[in-house]
Amino acid sequence: MNGLDFWNNSTAIPVEKRDHYGTIIHQEILSKEAKGNKAVLVTKAIWVRPDNKTLLDELTTFNFSVDTKANNFIIDRITTLTAKDTAVIFKDVKDGMFAIRVARELELPSKEKTSFVDDKGNVTTVAPSGADATGMYYSSNGTRGDSVWSTKGDWVMLTGKKDGKNITIGMFDHPSNVGYPTYWHARGYGLFALNPLGRKVFSNVFSNGKEELNFSLKPGESVTFRYRIVVHSGEFLTNDDMNKLFADFKETK
């Protein structure tokens, strides 16, 4: 965003290169409430340049709920980003935007190391997953495994076994989001992510990069993103189960 990388920033970045990276800084918890099988957490954060100038204000609401009958733990994240006194442009790149990292047991089985390159040319080499890896991706568009990467869909689920238990993790896009239906940046090494703002790299796989979206906000302008994660234990969720969960999610405001 505005020439700064907010995705790959970490303490591992050399000091001489940190002026190329932005930072998202948690500010405060605005409210928290728990009642029965539901809880709500509201937080505030800022997106800052290396010189500490704030580019974006972030207001995020986390809605937590437990469906004990279905063995589903549900997390909704609703984030509103508001540009401060400078216009912001989210450059069309593959790295972003909503993601989790999963345990080694839920990675897809692999026997060879693989390498990935970010938009600055930095190479990340990933070791083989090991004998304990049991993961498999399934998408609402019918693809599975590593083929889910760079495809669009309403949802993707990851199934696998951990500590002797069947686990399903589902991630859902919302029709109100920019870039819906999102592209999926789901990798076998445990990065489970979606990126509605990265169109060119993903569309290049099937349509020679014909799509491009450099999303922008004017000073004072806001945008809201809604996503849902479902963690399920017991028998793996089916496509029908995921479609029903998506139908429920898309009705939320």
| Residue 112 CB neighbours (<10 A) | 7
Q: Does 251 have pLDDT greater than 80? A: yes
Q: What is the pLDDT of residue 115?
A: 67
Q: Where are the domains of the chain?
A: 82-249
Q: What is the pLDDT of residue 207?
A: 59
Task: Report the chain's terminal Cα–Cα distance, integer Å.
Answer: 27
| Residue 47 CB neighbours (<10 A) | 21
Q: What is the pLDDT of residue 176?
A: 97
pLDDT in tens, 93-115: 888 899 999 999 999 998 676 76
In sequence order, what are the residues at sequence separation of 6 or more whose Cβ sits closer than 8 angstroms to the Cβ of residue 73?
A: 64, 65, 66, 230, 231, 232
**CA–CA gap between residue 21 and residue 57 (Å, rounded):** 17
Average pLDDT estimate for 44-60: 97
Q: What is the pLDDT of residue 243?
A: 98
Residue 198 corresponds to which amino acid?
Answer: G
Q: What is the pLDDT of residue 211?
A: 82
Q: Which of 53-62, 94-103, 111-120 has the lowest mean pLDDT?
A: 111-120
Query: Of 51, 93, 100, which is closest to residue 75 (Cα–Cα)?
Result: 100
**CA–CA gap between residue 225 and residue 82 (Å, rounded):** 12
Q: Does 129 have pLDDT greater than 80? A: no
pLDDT in tens, 130-184: 778 999 999 999 999 999 999 999 999 999 999 999 999 999 999 999 999 999 9
Q: Does 22 have pLDDT greater than 90? A: yes
pLDDT in tens, 187-223: 999 999 999 998 888 887 665 657 888 899 999 999 9
Average pLDDT estimate for 53-72: 97
Average pLDDT estimate for 70-95: 95
What pTM, to 2 d.p., does this model score? 0.90
Task: Copy the structure tokens of residue 100.
Answer: 């989790």
Task: Copy the structure tokens of residue 96.
Answer: 């972003």
Q: What is the pLDDT of residue 119?
A: 60
Higher pLDDT, 37 or 131: 37
Q: Give the chain's mean pLDDT.
A: 92
Q: What is the pLDDT of residue 217?
A: 97
